[in-house]
């Protein structure tokens, strides 16, 4: 396995670590897998999970790129005060341009944890070169998160649903019940969850029973899936992100490919569950690679 550091992106100011695949027998350039930062974590990801996944994707034939966006990890901060939700996407697109110029990459997949997952989906919406997106515990990606009142309401309602699910129908229920009986819980979060009881649903809804911004995003997701983009959500049973997903989509959740891993927290801390995550990512990557290769063979005929 050969790994190199690269200065890339706008003005070659961003730092990335590349895991290189073996040269393909066909001589075709490899597709690239772009790992986007999880919160303020640098390019190794939570518990170094990006390192493991990147090397496994390189073994499958991807050029795996663990990127530090501006102001994160080893990359310097921007000087123009552009908001991260905008700058990270423009930087990722610029990195894709650079990878295309240096290595001939024509197809890309994006993946990440939490905010990195949200950015991965938005990158797929913006750039048709992205042919797969693997989203690990994304949240606040299915509505207009600039609508502050709606976001506050959804956070409260998500927490309420989350605690009820953990207590009543999850593999964590015995542990949660013991904590409740001991009084061992976060009172601030509980108060926020209780406020979710009084949060009324906004009166504006589409004919599908969705918030308008959610309906629009679901429409974009449907378009990606119909166009052959391999979008996969992966959720931890112990994380509230899955409650957000079901709360926002309701019965339409079945239209969006998703996997729930039981007995796992937000960042896949136990070693056994990282093995499970690795298996999920490898399966998704192999599916995506098969579609990309069949498309290349069809174009060559």
- What secondary structure does DSSP assign to 27-41, as a single string? -PPPPEEEEE--TT-
Q: What does the pLDDT average to over 184-193?
A: 60
Q: Which fold has domain 2-137+266-300?
A: Rossmann fold (3.40.50)
Q: Which two tokens stand for residue 3?
A: 């790994």
Residue-wise pLDDT tens digits, 223-249: 999 999 999 999 999 999 999 999 999
- Count of beta carbons in the 10 Å neighbourhood of residue 142: 25
Q: Which two tokens stand for residue 69?
A: 């966006």
Find tokens 């229920």 and name the residue.
Answer: 173
pLDDT band for 288, please (50, 70, 90 cuts).
Answer: very high
Please provide the DSSP assignment of 167-198 as one string: HHSSTTHHHHHHHHHHT-S-HHHHHHHHHHHH
Q: Where are the domains of the chain?
A: 2-137+266-300
Is the CB of residue 231 less than 8 Å from the CB of residue 257?
yes
The whole-number pLDDT of residue 168 equals 83
Residue-wise pLDDT tens digits, 7-46: 999 999 999 999 999 877 578 899 999 999 999 999 999 9
Q: What does the pLDDT average to over 139-166?
A: 92
The whole-number pLDDT of residue 208 equals 75
């Amino acid at each position: 396995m050969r790994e190199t550091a690269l200065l890339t992106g706008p003005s070659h100011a961003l730092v990335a670590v590349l895991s290189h695949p073996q040269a393909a027998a066909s001589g075709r350039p490899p597709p690239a897998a772009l790992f986007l930062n999880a919160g303020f974590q640098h390019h190794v990801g939570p518990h170094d999970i990006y390192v493991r996944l990147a090397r496994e994707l390189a073994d499958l034939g991807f050029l795996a790129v663990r990127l530090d966006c501006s102001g994160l990890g080893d990359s310097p901060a921007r000087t123009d005060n552009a908001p991260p939700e905008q700058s990270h996407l423009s930087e990722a697109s610029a990195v894709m341009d650079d990878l295309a110029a240096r290595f001939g990459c024509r197809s890309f997949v994006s993946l990440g944890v939490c905010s990195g997952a949200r950015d991965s989906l938005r990158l797929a919406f913006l750039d048709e070169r992205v042919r797969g997106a693997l989203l690990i515990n994304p949240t606040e990606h299915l509505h207009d998160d600039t609508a502050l009142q709606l976001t506050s309401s959804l956070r409260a309602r998500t927490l309420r649903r989350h605690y009820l699910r953990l207590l009543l129908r999850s593999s964590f229920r015995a542990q949660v019940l013991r904590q409740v009986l001991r009084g061992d819980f976060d009172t601030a979060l509980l108060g926020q969850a209780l406020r979710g009881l009084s949060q009324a649903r906004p009166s504006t809804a589409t004919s599908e029973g969705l918030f308008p911004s959610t309906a629009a995003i679901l429409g974009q997701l449907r378009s990606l899936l119909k166009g052959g983009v391999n979008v996969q959500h992966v959720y931890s049973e112990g994380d509230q992100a899955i409650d957000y997903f079901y709360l926002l989509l309701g019965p339409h959740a079945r239209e969006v490919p998703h996997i729930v891993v039981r007995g796992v927290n937000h960042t896949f801390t136990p070693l056994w569950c990282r093995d499970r995550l690795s298996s999920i990512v490898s399966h998704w990557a192999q599916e995506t690679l098969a579609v990309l290769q069949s498309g290349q063979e069809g174009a060559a005929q």
